[in-house]
Amino acid sequence: MTAPKLALSDNAVTDITADVVVIGTVQQDGGGFTLAPGGEAVDAVFDGSLVAVLTSLGATGKAEETVKVPTLGKLKAGVVLAVGLGKADPTPEQVRRAAGASARALTGVKRAHSFLSLVDLQAAVEGTVLGGYTFTEYKSDAGDGPVGRVDFSAASNKDNKATLKAATAIAEAVATARDLINTPPNDLYPASFAERAAKLGEAAGLTVEVLDEKALRKGGYGGILGVGSGSSRLPRLVRLAYKGPKASKKVALVGKGITFDTGGISIKPAANMDEMTSDMSGAAAVVAAVVLAAKLKFPLEVIATVPIAENMPSGTSYRPGDVLTMYGGKTVEVLNTDAEGRLILADAIVRAGEDNPDYLIETATLTGAQVVALGKRTAGVMGSDDFRDRVAGIGQAVGENAWAMPLPDELRSDLDSRVADLANVTGHRWGGMLAAGQFLKEFVPDGLEWAHIDVAGPAYNSGGPFGYTTRGGTGVPVRTIAATLADIAENG
């Protein structure tokens, strides 16, 4: 993506050099709307008529509505863009969404000045960058592109500069994940994904290790090799390690990296199979998150372990009935080759456990059952009780909706296998998201605080854009992981 140039400015309205000035509107309880901070100065230029003018153009303050008003020479900027924040008092998420909607309305504009930062600077920056995200790598004509530069109303002091820098880094990490997800599977396959991850890691000063198929065989990574065996593009395991100054805690990150999921021999139906290009969203998120941890210099040790494979049907594929010996020695009977994510994750989780981390955060587009249970915009979080609730709460707080889910014991016995230590699926369709969680739990070291975030729905937006979420890869749950790392850095 090409990110806009971002800056701080506390210029008075009449001194603003920009093409468009962005102000917020807020719905009133009894109907009507008011102007968010910054709006009163613009209103003064309009001789107090701005609310009336906006109302006549249909403005209501409703979340994400955008209404443009020409300034007719009253300002240097030719246009005022009013964006709805929704109900009072706006939360950071409301600001982020309004900023996202404003960025989408600013497509092709050279320079804008946003007053949304007077409500919340960090949210305004994140929403503006993410809402303006485009992926045009494969377009002959890239079109107008996002707004070229945005100045945010804020004093250019130390605190605000730090906030701008951090918010930009967070938004760029999300954009990095989106770029990886949006790269089509003929170009993003295990070796090329591993290479891009390694490059990102090296640029951030991380310790990088890539295991190719030979090294995987030598190491005994039966899950990754089994799933990857059907593709001519052989699997990889990437490890990216960051050690911060005065690292207090060690956090392991694991993310599912299936570069394309056909289902394998248990092949998927044709409808919407193209969306399985996003089956590496968990991997993209943890790669982006460990790079971000280094950029923000978190006082932590963060190690991402990223298993990458392509799930294809062929004469060399693994098959239903196969028994795989996983990294660490547990055996798994494969009853459905489409339940492949848990197999590559099991190897990676065991490997990550060898680092003796204090916490494990693992994320995956793991089950269709997640989407059935919670819909397209709310992730399911499973794991050890306290950490699960902590991560789900942080997800809600940063606007990446997440909900704690249980791991019922009876689903574990439903994974019992006739021949092996366990099977990769139960014999029924009930609680599919939780059964997958139970499978993963088998591979998590006893007593380790862990969270499994199933983002099958939230990782990919197959509908139209909304708020700061564009079409295609969303980058969820990068911000949840980033905020959890920040929380661990601060509170242990």
Tell me the binding residues for Mn(2+). 256, 261, 279, 338, 340
Based on CB atoms, which residue is closest to Mn ion, 64 or 340?
340
Specify the 3-state DSSP secondary structure of 170: helix
Of the candidates 151, 213, 310, 338, which one interacts with Mn ion according to CB under 5 A?
Answer: 338
Per-residue binding string, Zn ion, 275-304, x by CB under 5 A, is ----x-------------------------
Per-residue binding string, ligand BES, 217-236, x by CB under 6 A, is --------------------
Q: Which stretch binds Mn ion (CB under 5 A): 142-150, 161-169, 333-341, 387-395?
A: 333-341
- Residue 224's nearest CA partner among 335, 306, 313 is 306
Each as own residue / partner, the long-range contacts of residues 272-279 (CB below 8 Å, 24 or more positions apart, any chain) are 272/462, 275/460, 275/462, 276/185, 277/181, 277/184, 277/185, 277/188, 278/181, 278/365, 278/459, 278/460, 278/472, 278/473, 279/311, 279/341, 279/365
CA distances to 161, 337, 488 from 447, rounded to whole Å, are: 41, 30, 18
Q: Indicate whether 310 belongs to the interface with Mn ion (CB under 5 A).
A: no
| Structure tokens belonging to residue 333 | 């009977």
Specify the 3-state DSSP secondary structure of 351: helix
Catalytic center residues = 268, 342
Based on CB atoms, which residue is closest to Mn ion, 261 or 333?
261
Specify the 3-state DSSP secondary structure of 290: helix
Residue 173's binding partner among Zn ion, Mn ion, ligand BES, none (Cβ under 5 to 8 angstroms by kind) is: none
Q: Indicate whether 362 belongs to the interface with Zn ion (CB under 5 A).
A: no
d(CA 257, CA 231): 14
How wide is the angle at C-alpha 325 spanned by C-alphas 320 and 327, nearest 5°?
130
User: Which residues touch 157 (CB under 8 Å, ≥6 apart)?
Assistant: none
Of the candidates 365, 378, 401, 484, which one interacts with ligand BES according to CB under 6 A?
Answer: 365
Of the candidates 339, 348, 404, 444, which one interacts with ligand BES according to CB under 6 A?
Answer: 339
Alpha-carbon Rg for the chain, nearest whole angstrom, is 24
Based on CB atoms, which residue is closest to Zn ion, 175 or 227?
227
10 Å Cβ neighbour count for 165? 14
Q: Indicate whether 310 belongs to the interface with Zn ion (CB under 5 A).
A: no
User: Rounded to the nearest whole angstrom, what is the least distance from the CB of residue 261 to ligand BES in the complex?
Assistant: 5
Place of tokens 């056909």: 262
User: Rounded to the nearest whole angstrom, what is the least distance from the CB of residue 370 to ligand BES in the complex?
Assistant: 8
Q: Indicate whether 374 belongs to the interface with ligand BES (CB under 6 A).
A: no
- Residue 71's nearest CA partner among 104, 23, 108, 11 is 23
Q: Is the dihedral of CA 384, 280, 459, 333 positive or negative?
A: negative
Which residues are annotated as part of the binding site? Answer: 256, 261, 279, 338, 340
Q: Indicate whether 261 belongs to the interface with Mn ion (CB under 5 A).
A: yes
Q: Indicate whether 456 belongs to the interface with ligand BES (CB under 6 A).
A: yes
Residue 336's binding partner among ligand BES, Mn ion, Zn ion, none (Cβ under 5 to 8 angstroms by kind) is: ligand BES
User: Rounded to the nearest whole angstrom, what is the least distance from the CB of residue 374 to ligand BES in the complex?
Assistant: 12
d(CA 190, CA 212): 9
Q: Indicate whether 454 belongs to the interface with ligand BES (CB under 6 A).
A: no
User: Rounded to the nearest whole angstrom, what is the least distance from the CB of residue 341 to Zn ion in the complex?
Assistant: 4
Q: Which residue is nearest to Mn ion (CB)?
A: 338
Based on CB atoms, which residue is closest to ligand BES, 86 or 457?
457
Residue 367's binding partner among Mn ion, Zn ion, ligand BES, none (Cβ under 5 to 8 angstroms by kind) is: ligand BES
Q: Indicate whether 431 belongs to the interface with ligand BES (CB under 6 A).
A: no
User: Rounded to the nearest whole angstrom, what is the least distance from the CB of residue 265 to Mn ion in the complex?
Assistant: 11
Based on CB atoms, which residue is closest to Mn ion, 10 or 275?
275
d(CA 291, CA 279): 20
Based on CB atoms, which residue is closest to Zn ion, 92 or 341?
341
Q: Indicate whether 223 belongs to the interface with Zn ion (CB under 5 A).
A: no
Chain contacts with Zn ion (rule: CB under 5 A) = 258, 261, 279, 341
Chain contacts with Mn ion (rule: CB under 5 A) = 261, 338, 340
